[in-house]
Chain A
Amino acid sequence: MTVTRRELLKGAALAGAAAALPAGLPGPATAQTTQKRELVVAQGGDIAHLDPHMSTSSNDIRISYNIFDNLTSRRPDGKLAPGLASEWKLQGQQAWAFKLRSGVKWHNGDPFTAADAKFSLERTYDPAAKTRVNTVFTTIERIEAPDPTTLIVHTKKPDPLLPARLGFYGGQIVPKKYLEAVGQEKFNQAPVGTGPVRFVSWTKDDKVVLDANADYWGGKPDFDRLIVRALPEMAPRVAALLKGEVDIATQLPPDQGERVKANASTTVAGALYGGLYVLAVNSKVKPLDNPLVKQALSLAIDRDVIIKELWRGRGVAPSGPIARGDNHFDPSLPPLAYNPKEARELLKKAGYKNEEIVIETTAGYMAGDKPMAEAVQAMWKDAGINGKVEIVEYSVRAQKNRDKSFKGLWWSDPTSTLRDPDGMMWRLLGPGGPQDYWRHAEWDELGNAARFSVDEKFRGEAYKKMTKIFLEHFPWIPVIQPYEDYGLQKYVEWNPDPLQQLEIRRFNFKFRRA
């Protein structure tokens, strides 16, 4: 099972790379080179925190993943690789033992030890630290650090995904001695990590400046300085790329891809997003409590046209709740069907009386959210569904998310944080989860059993059954698994990451030099 998944991932990554780099790119005549020692990245918003445990936003993560290291490292190819831990293994059912690297130094010269790792993980759920990642490691019971290079984590129940959890947010390792000496506030202003770049300065709403860590255990990155600029408006961000002011621009909309490719010095690189774009459903309101209506809503969406036209082919149609590239993704399932005629029949059978069905969408929070909502509404109209689009501000969406007060459907971009269904559909749709609007006894039982089983075969069967139930009830209506596209200067050799990290370590980033 794992082998086939990895094969598949490799295939996906290759496909992504092929799409990104037009055939025959490094031909000697077209190869572009640079003498730059400074890497400039433009992203859509400023960071809010440097303390990695204070944020889960992708703008912050792009920086905190490079100032800090995790024990395990999720690579752009989807694999879990060693980080500060060089190896790990399960001891019995409920303990994981990690062997940590020796000789690693913090940016201020202090040595890194198992005590730092223990302190970091415990800090995430320490009420006094008030972190914003306090729910990431809820399966941990206690942590031992018997010697400087050994860490043993005991879990409350068997937790097959602990190494994966350590690779995502919350898992960044912070320095015990420094943090305790300077306090949380100072640490947030002047963070010290073990990562490939060290913090230099942060000009709010403008840029973060970081210097290469020459002593990095993974090798000094291929630049002397990294500057991450905040350019919120898309047009200026693309303009800055075209003019050569930035080397990498994030969040490149599909419609801009051709423009960037047509430019002599720039190109596009994309990674298939590690997650899905779905219309989440409040299954508690009428008529969305009726599974037939939700099946009709899904059947009335022409995903091919959305992907081919609106996304210019930069995406794939989902087949269910599990993202392509995740554990237990079933490649034999067909993509979700489009059949407006069948949708009409289902609606008739369900007794749908033209009730208004509201999509609450943000405008620009998620790529293509508003135009996709409008397109879906028009497709629904053609199938006899009375849809309505309402635009809500991001903070209103967050509020509704908390109060569970959505009127009907809303956009959600569930990230597969662990590259496993547990870190996506079960985390969000499970009982008590943030999108708990629908319950199904058998589904709940399967999800719970799969979370605490270390038997991958059993888990695979469980997720298969859960997918089947899902496709009957549609607590989400998956619409697209898009590519996350980036604009690059052609002299940049870099692979984008499916989980929106900015991996600039030596193995993944290089300036093409003359």
Chain B
Amino acid sequence: MAFSIPASASADQAIATASARAGRRARRARRLTAAGVGFVLFLALVAAAAPWLAPHDPTRQSLRARLVAPTWEAADGRAHVLGTDHLGRDVLSRMIVGSRVSLLVGFAAVLVGGLIGSALGLVAGFRGGWFDTAIMTVADAQLAFPFILLAIGIIAVLGPSFSTLIVVIGLSGWVSYARILRSQVLGLRSREFVDAIHALGGSVLRIIGKHVLPNVLSSLVVIATLELARAIVLEATLSFLGLGIQPPTPSWGGMVQEGREYLDSAWWIATFPGLLLMATSVVVSRTGDWLRDLLDPTLRGE
């Protein structure tokens, strides 16, 4: 066992460097999360101030100046920094104003899905029994249903509109929230103190507020960011299938969809909103990862 001493010494050293590294990681995660949240806040501000920021009216057409290239590509494109689309509308202005729809649909859908999912998850966890089984079976059914087809069907029934989109996209995401809350509640219920609180007359709401939510908040936030990214991409996909927001209101997904026929000739129509959409989605889901690193120390360092 002569080797045990240096081995353990190096282990100590390793632990020391590891904790230093963990500290650096935590700082890095905090910085990155802040940057990610900052980006989203910036977009939200842009969306809020869109009418004042947009250099042109996003719905103003000019058929004589359609498919004008971005400033640096065309001599006469100075008035339109990112060019114009197939109806001569300013691409930059449409992207700025379009952020409203994309973000609003995204956030509202996350809210709808989060509220429904959380509520069902809590009820399933606390009530248990057939109620639990019923909700989890519905969740199974939802996951098994090819979602795009369900969305097309629902939109065909209700007609494409802002609120329909929010409901459809929101409904598609409730299962993750429900599952995480349910398992948290089940975990708590297996501990005696909950029954004790019950026996002492403590209300269910109190249990939720004091013991359930603090434990799942980080998971919920992480899921919400992933869902937000998914919702923004989904809006674009539904637009591709012709089920997006109604014209002339611009949305990023709608712009990509309209511009896809011009990718070869007027690439700027779809490319800029497409890049912005992808960037937003990447940043938001990355922020979710960083947030998880920050909130859940055991996973730190990934």
Main secondary structure, interface of A, reads helix
A377 to B262 Cα, complex, angstroms:
23
A235 contacts B264, C-beta separation under 8 Å: yes
A255 to B61 Cα, complex, angstroms:
17
A223-234 CB contact bits vs B (8 Å, 1 = yes)? 000000000001
A310 to B87 Cα, complex, angstroms:
8
A235 to B270 Cα, complex, angstroms:
13
A390 in complex: contacting residue of B59, B61, B246, B264, CB < 8 Å: B246
Query: Count the A-B residue pairs with Cβ separation under 8 angstroms: how many?
Result: 62
In the assembled complex, which residues on chain B have CB atoms less than 8 Å from the CB atom of A373? Answer: 247
Q: List which A397-438 residues lie within 8 A (CB) of chain B.
A: none
A235 contacts B242, C-beta separation under 8 Å: no
In the assembled complex, which residues on chain A have CB atoms less than 8 Å from the CB atom of B88? Answer: 309
The contact size tier of chain A is: 20 to 34
A392 to B246 Cα, complex, angstroms:
10
B265 in complex: contacting residue of A256, A363, A393, CB < 8 Å: A256
Q: Is A396 an interface residue (CB 8 A)?
A: yes
Q: Is B260 an interface residue (CB 8 A)?
A: yes
Q: Is B66 an interface residue (CB 8 A)?
A: yes
Q: Is A389 an interface residue (CB 8 A)?
A: yes
Query: Most chain-A Cβ atoms within 10 A of its Cβ — which of B60, B247, B264?
Result: B247
B86 contacts A255, C-beta separation under 8 Å: yes
Residue of B nearest to A392 (CB): B159
Q: Is A26 an interface residue (CB 8 A)?
A: no
Q: Is A513 an interface residue (CB 8 A)?
A: no
A305 to B87 Cα, complex, angstroms:
11
A310 in complex: contacting residue of B63, B159, B242, B265, CB < 8 Å: B63
Q: Is A148 an interface residue (CB 8 A)?
A: no
In the assembled complex, which residues on chain A have CB atoms less than 8 Å from the CB atom of B262? Answer: 255
Q: List which A255-269 residues lie within 8 A (CB) of chain B.
A: 255-256, 258-259
- Known A-B contacts A235-B260, A309-B66, A391-B247; A375 and B156 likewise in contact (beta carbons under 8 Å): no
A377 to B246 Cα, complex, angstroms:
13
Q: List which B117-162 residues lie within 8 A (CB) of chain A.
A: 156, 159-160
- Known A-B contacts A370-B247, A374-B87, A374-B247; A235 and B263 likewise in contact (beta carbons under 8 Å): yes
Q: Is B64 an interface residue (CB 8 A)?
A: yes
In the assembled complex, which residues on chain A have CB atoms less than 8 Å from the CB atom of B160? Answer: 391
A235 to B156 Cα, complex, angstroms:
26
In the assembled complex, which residues on chain A have CB atoms less than 8 Å from the CB atom of B247? Answer: 370, 373-374, 389, 391
A259 contacts B264, C-beta separation under 8 Å: yes
Q: Is A253 an interface residue (CB 8 A)?
A: yes
B93-112 CB contact bits vs A (8 Å, 1 = yes)? 00000000000000000000
Shortest C-beta distance, A18 to chain B (Å), equals 24
In the assembled complex, which residues on chain A have CB atoms less than 8 Å from the CB atom of B76? Answer: none
A377 contacts B87, C-beta separation under 8 Å: no
In the assembled complex, which residues on chain A have CB atoms less than 8 Å from the CB atom of B201? Answer: none
A393 contacts B242, C-beta separation under 8 Å: yes
Residue of A nearest to B67 (CB): A255
A364 to B61 Cα, complex, angstroms:
20
In the assembled complex, which residues on chain B have CB atoms less than 8 Å from the CB atom of A363? Answer: 242
A378 to B159 Cα, complex, angstroms:
23
A258 to B264 Cα, complex, angstroms:
11
A185 to B86 Cα, complex, angstroms:
46
A378 contacts B61, C-beta separation under 8 Å: yes
Q: Is B6 an interface residue (CB 8 A)?
A: no
B264 contacts A375, C-beta separation under 8 Å: no
Q: Is B261 an interface residue (CB 8 A)?
A: yes
Query: Most chain-B Cβ atoms within 10 A of its Cβ — which of A234, A258, A309, A396?
Result: A309
A256 to B266 Cα, complex, angstroms:
11
A309 contacts B263, C-beta separation under 8 Å: no
Residue of A nearest to B86 (CB): A371
A306 in complex: contacting residue of B59, B63, B248, CB < 8 Å: B63
Residue of B nearest to A391 (CB): B246
In the assembled complex, which residues on chain B have CB atoms less than 8 Å from the CB atom of A322? Answer: none
Q: Is A238 an interface residue (CB 8 A)?
A: yes
- Known A-B contacts A255-B86, A305-B63, A375-B87; A396 and B156 likewise in contact (beta carbons under 8 Å): yes
B262-275 CB contact bits vs A (8 Å, 1 = yes)? 11110000000000
B264 contacts A238, C-beta separation under 8 Å: yes
A315 to B63 Cα, complex, angstroms:
16
In the assembled complex, which residues on chain B have CB atoms less than 8 Å from the CB atom of A255? Answer: 67, 86, 261-262, 265
A375 to B62 Cα, complex, angstroms:
9
A375 to B61 Cα, complex, angstroms:
7
A377 to B166 Cα, complex, angstroms:
27
A371 to B67 Cα, complex, angstroms:
13
A377 to B87 Cα, complex, angstroms:
12
Interface residues of B (CB under 8 A from A): 59-61, 63-64, 66-67, 86-88, 156, 159-160, 242, 246-248, 260-265
Interface residues of A (CB under 8 A from B): 234-235, 238-239, 253, 255-256, 258-259, 305-306, 309-310, 363-364, 370-371, 373-375, 377-378, 389-393, 395-396
Interchain Cβ contacts under 8 Å between A and B, 23 examples: A235-B260, A235-B261, A255-B86, A256-B265, A258-B265, A259-B264, A305-B63, A306-B63, A309-B88, A310-B87, A370-B247, A374-B61, A374-B87, A374-B248, A375-B61, A375-B87, A378-B59, A378-B61, A390-B246, A391-B246, A392-B159, A393-B156, A396-B159
